[in-house]
Amino acid sequence: MLGDIYAISNLVTGIIIQLLGIFVITRNYRSHSNRIFLIFCFVISAWMYALCFMYYFGTTVSSAIRWSKYVNIGICFSPALSYHFIITFLNIKKRQWVLYLSYVLGILFLFFVFDNKMLDGVYKYSWGYFPRHGQYHPLFMSYLFAQSLYTLYLLYDRYRYRL
């Protein structure tokens, strides 16, 4: 029963994020940054939906492992899409190689998910199953942290430049 609460909270979060993306794109559908933001919102909401389904339908170890792989699809591409949105929003043209590298790393980590290098089974809790991170997960977390710091640096640099 407690797993249902987690499932519902992820479902609601996914719906809200998806609606946010739709709201932004309806304001100016021709804007490239708005379209990237919509894709980013859809990927994050897909991540939330997969978590919802893992908590609700992951009643066995094998089904929980399958759903946890779907959860990680959204996670793999979230750093690249957030960076893509920020450089598009800030109109930064000279750092395109980082964007391409980010998508290549997202694809690489996606292969690691389905090759069982990012996941190593699941933990069993009273409220349901949760993914157990594999041997390459620390590498992904390092990439996520570095990409997030770089993206925040770009935002700060543009903010500082505008003052």
How does pLDDT run across 70-119, given as a tens digit for each residue?
Answer: 888 888 999 999 999 999 999 888 878 999 999 999 999 998 988 888 88
In this structure, are residues 122 and 130 in contact, taking their beta carbons and an 8 Å threshold? yes
Measured between alpha carbons, how far apart are the two ends of the chain, in Å?
Answer: 52
Model confidence at 12: pLDDT above 80: yes
Task: Name every residue whose Cβ is closer than 8 Å to that of residue 35 and which is 6 or more positions away in sequence.
Answer: 25, 29
Confidence of residue 148 (pLDDT cuts 50, 70, 90): very high
Q: Which two tokens stand for residue 29?
A: 């559908």
Per the prediction, the chain carries an average pLDDT of: 89
